[in-house]
Structure 1
Amino acid sequence: MIRMFRQLAIAGLLLPFAAYTPASTQHGLPDKVQQSLKASKIASESLSLVTLPLNAPGRPTFFNADVSVNPASTMKLVTTYAALELLGPSHQWKTEFYADGPLKNGVLHGNLLLKGGGDPKLNLEKLWLLLRDLRAYGVRQVTGDLILDRSHFIQPRLPVFDDDGGDIDKPYLVAPDALLVNLNALRLITRNQDGKVQVVVEPPIASIRIDNRVKPLKPGKCPAWPDVRYNTVKQFDGTTVIVSGSLAEGCRTQSYLAPLDHQSYIAGAVRAIWAELDGSILGQDHLGEVPKNARLLASAWSPDLTEIIRDINKYSNNTMARQLYLSLGAQFRTAADGDDAMAAQRVIRQWLARKGITAPHLVMENGSGLSRDERVSARELAKILEAAWKGPYAAEFVSSLPLVATDGTMRKRLKRTVMAGEAHIKTGTLNNVRAIAGYSRDRNGNSWAVVAILNHPKPWGASAILDQVLLDLYRQPATP
């Protein structure tokens, strides 16, 4: 019912808009792109393609440009560009520790309260520094409870997304939270040292138990992908990680899991690091809000938004993108907004309208592209990229995208080709989606916005098709 209401509300907003039609278009696909489609047995109707010249004359391409498609992670471009302009490149998030009782001789007689402000990048190092500041303030023991204030966001009720079916412990599926710590991820390190297999978990949360079933092997060549598997069993009194497989002596491997809910992870990480700092909390863990008479003990600021969007776009971080999307909603929330996701979509649509960009196909659910419901057309996304290119934060935005053959999700693509280092491209991948969007230079040194989105039940070989789009765009006719 909630999803249906959202879609109906969105449809009502879209009726007044009309699609933009350029005066001069190139409707046909380049020959080599058509050949790549045919080689992968993918119909050309599955591909939407738009290229727009940005700083020099050129003939734009519009192919299936006004079809509503799932953009996968290229939707992050809309979220991050909107955040740059609406929040500002120097925007930061704050995390704070409070006390509701007196501090005497290192003992806090009351509760310790941790208030989240939606920081997308509150990692373990920053949490350690924050707790270290608490120790420097003089706190050693807390007689009361650890209270977690996660009230900063009004969370939407969205469907759980799992593209692979059943593996809900993958870190890329972690939901956003006002008090997100280390992306809720556990790092499990397995190593065979002197014929004995050890498994270490970071952070060392007390509710995580390790069932080590890894068989030690004799010394040998360490494979790129060791035969070590991690499975979780959730029980009433904690979570057990079963580690199985085999590992040769002298070898090691690591993996990341996210089996805990936010409250268990946050509280477990705080207690583990606090214990390492020789601190103790005698009470229990529970949720609550910081009272008005509480006293601030320590606070920490996130990196600037410019750094945050670099992590989001370079490495296609879904949780951070969703965190940023809710931050937009929380910043501009009104009484009429049902939750922060609805507020974010409203704000982004109004912001685009002020720029003269009509986007009747744009549907944003969580702002990350990790969704079956998010939609956009290639023309709309290209026009947004064009506006970003002309905007005041173009340098910050463009540099946040992966550089072809160099870093991020494009680091292994188009190596040893003319495209190496010539384009900043955001990728998008779901089971039935392959996409690229961003900025590319041609051989004349001119810049283009490019969007290529392929929706197909079996998009095998699609990366080669999209790479061919970039290669063909590079080979523009030489200018005199």
Structure 2
Amino acid sequence: MSKLQSCVAIAMLTLPLAGPTFAETVNQTLPPRVAQALKANKIESSALSVVMLPLNGGGAPTFINADVSVNPASTMKLVTTYAALELLGPNHQWKTEFHADGPIENGTLNGNLYLKGGGDPKLNMEKLWLLLRDLRANGVETVTGDLVLDRSHFVQPNLPVFDDDGNDKNKPFLVGPDSLLVNLKALRFIARNDDGNVKVIVEPPIETVRIDNRIQALPKEKCPGWPDIRYNPIEDADGVTVVVTGKLPAGCSGQTYLSLLDHQRYAAGAVRAIWKELGGNILGGDRVSAVPKDARMIARAYSPDLVEIIRDINKYSNNTMARQLFLSLGAEFRNDADRDDSMAAQRVIRQWLAKKGLISPHLVIENGSGLSRAERVSARELASLLQAAWQSPYAAEFISSMPLAAVDGTMRKRLRNTGVAGKAHLKTGTLNTVRAIAGFSRDSEGKTWAVVAILNHPRPWGASSILDQVLVSLYNRPSSENTAQR
């Protein structure tokens, strides 16, 4: 057997048995324009892993550094979201509930009010407002006892805090998961200069977040795209004081999102802020405890279906929601041998992959979001997963959850004015030393390919354009007739 035939045999054995029948040749050479782009950016070809598999037509599959263990960054979300679709089902929902341990008489709950989290990845302010409206509709106006938060749904793992070379810990994309995740724990700060009167507003208006406004008002001029406004949070025992400095011309405004409170303070503060606006009152304090067995449920809210959740995760690469989904898999299938829900999720995903015939020795999942230095996969393993997803009953839901090239999500500004625009659904991945894309793309003949391109390099400058060139080269590949003639 020749060396080329051996490579073909190995490639076929490591792909799902349900996949299409490929040509007798395998491409192991980078497209010329991709090789040129690597050279122009002074990145060696060994840093780039590429796999392209034809899914509904002829064409030679491509394998470049396909079996190298690499950090996939956020393309790891494809593993988590596809597993969730098949294991939880596309209409899976999470629930959040209010419980009471005392009687309700004349608008007064004589007891404690419990808010039980169920791991909802998308419990935003609108949904919380509706849930509190439902509480009012059920006869509650004043609570004589405490606001008690039940955050026991997840068994949380003890994972290292991610630090991508000094990222600001207050950035919302670093928010970790929680059984009672409210509004992704984000605070929106809005600075406005109304004719010399500078205001700084925070949403939601949580009482433990105080503003020290030191912004200098400037005369009216052209509003800057990025106003010179800086937020310096100072934590204390009662909450956090945000010192706001900078300069803002009259008639201009700017906003930013920060995560400054822990999950307990944020959830309690958001509930109290909305409840106060609704005319309600909670006389007691805030604490964390499980709902007593004899308490009764008085209001409940359901999350959107899983298909909407994975759309948010993949289109906008939402790390917190991905981690929330990963732990939800663990909580759903946890057994006595699992130390925590991360361990349970890892176990159930590996079992699911094995049932599909997808053996993935390089796969390492830490939190399921790709926001990790530990997570690993090979390009072949990820492409094989995409090939299996193409055959899944939920293929349409999975594919449509990914950004559409040059149209929306994290791909909205890429591949414009190319043949790929509007013809590829691709998940992106970005860390300081990683650039990645993975998903489904069409060639000029309308045939669909599973594509994975992952670059791991200490200085990945220009890497996004390199990965885009992989897709452009695939789109412009020689036609089937020309290939046959050669």
C-alpha distance after superposition, 1:349-392 (max 9, x if no partner): 00000000000000000000000000000000000000001100
- Find the residue that maps to 2:403 and give its secondary structure: coil
| 1:159-238 aligned within 5 A | 159-165=160-166, 167-238=168-239
**Aligned position for 1:91:** 92
Deviates more, 1:21-30 or 1:282-291: 21-30
List, as ranges, runs of 4+ consecutive aligned residues in structure 1 with deviation greater than 6 Å: none
Alpha carbons of structure 1 residues 218 and 60: separation in structure 2 relative to 1, 3 Å:
same
Letter in 2 for 1:364: I
Conserved 8 A contact 1:112-1:144: yes
Question: Where do 5+ consecutive residues of structure 1 fail to align?
Answer: 1-17
Contact in 1 for aligned 2:100/2:111 (Cα 8 Å): yes
Name the structure 1 match of 2:111: 110
Task: Report if aligned partners of 2:98, 2:299 keep a CA contact under 8 Å in 1.
Answer: yes
The amino acid of 1:453's aligned partner reads I
1:19 positional shift: 7.7
1:411-442 C-alpha deviation (Å, 9 max, x unpaired): 00111111110100100000000000000000
1:20 deviation in Å? Answer: 2.0
- Determine helix, strand or coil for the equivalent of 1:307: helix
State the match for 1:389 in structure 2.
390
CA offsets 1:228-286 (integer angstroms, 9 cap, x no match) = 11121111121011111111111111100001000000000000000000101010100
Which residue number corresponds to residue 435 of structure 1?
A: 436
Look up the SS of the partner of 2:254 in the other structure.
Answer: strand
Whether contact under 8 Å (1:19, 1:360) holds in the other structure is no
What residue number does 1:3 align with? none
Q: Note if contact 1:19-1:66 (Cα within 8 Å) is conserved in structure 2.
A: no
Compute the displacement of 1:478 (Å): 2.2
Q: 1:19 to 1:374 in 2, by over 3 A?
A: farther
Deviations 1:51-88 (A, max 9, x none): 00000011110000000000000000000000000000
- After TM superposition, the structure 1 = structure 2 runs for residues 108-147 of structure 1, keeping only pairs within 5 Å, are 108-147=109-148
Aligned residue number for residue 14 of structure 2: 20
**Using the alignment, how far apart are the partners of 1:226 and 1:416 within structure 2?**
31
Taking the aligned partners of 1:445 and 1:229, their CA distance within structure 2 comes to 49
- Where in structure 2 are the equivalents of 1:3-402 lying within 5 Å? 20=14, 24-165=25-166, 167-402=168-403
Supply the distance in 2 between the matched residues of 1:91 and 1:238 (Cα, whole angstroms): 36
Amino acid at match of 1:20: T
User: In 1, distance between residues paired with 2:25 and 2:438?
Assistant: 21
**Cα displacement (A) at 1:479:** 3.6
Using the TM superposition, give the Cα deviation of residue 134 of structure 1 relative to its aligned residue in structure 2, in angstroms: 0.5
Q: Is the 8 A contact 1:444 1:476 kept in 2?
A: no
C-alpha distance in structure 2 between counterparts of 1:288 and 1:471, whole Å: 55
AA of the residue aligned to 1:388? A
SS at match of 1:79: helix
Distance 1:164 1:170, change over 3 A: farther
Determine the structure 2 residue equivalent to 1:473. 474
Equivalent AA in structure 2 for residue 389 of structure 1? W
* Identity across the alignment (%): 70
**What secondary structure is seen at the aligned counterpart in 1 of 2:357?**
coil
Matching residue's letter, 2:204: P
Q: In 2, Cα distance between the equivalents of 1:167 and 1:411? A: 25
**Greater shift after overlay, 453-462 or 22-31?**
22-31
Q: Which amino acid aligns with 1:400?
A: S
State the TM-score, normalized to the length of structure 1.
0.95
Q: Secondary structure at the match of 2:235?
A: strand
What is the letter of the counterpart of residue 14 of structure 2? Y
CA contact (8 A) 1:405 1:413 kept: yes
Unaligned stretches of 5+ in structure 2?
Answer: 1-11, 16-21, 482-486
Question: Which residue identity lines up with residue 447 of structure 1 in the other structure?
Answer: T
Return 218-227 or 175-184, whichever deviates more.
218-227
| Amino acid of the structure 2 residue aligned with 1:242 | V
Residue 9 of structure 1 is matched in structure 2 by: none
Bigger drift between 366-375 and 291-300 goes to 291-300
Residue by residue over 1:154-180, the C-alpha shift from the partner in whole angstroms, topping out at 9 and shown as x without a partner, is: 000000002141511110010000100
Contact persistence 2:108–2:144 (CA under 8 A): yes
Give CA deviations for 1:315-372 in whole Å, capped at 9, x if unaligned: 0000000000000000000100010001001000000000000000000000000000
Tell me how many residue pairs correspond in the alignment: 463
**TM-score (norm. length: structure 2):** 0.94
3-state SS of paired residue (1:351): helix
- Alpha-carbon contact 2:434-2:460 (below 8 Å) kept: yes
Equivalents in 1 of 2:26, 2:353: separation in Å? Answer: 23
Contact 1:116–1:178 (CA<8 Å) still a contact in 2?
yes
Q: Distance in 1 between matches of 2:58 and 2:124?
A: 46
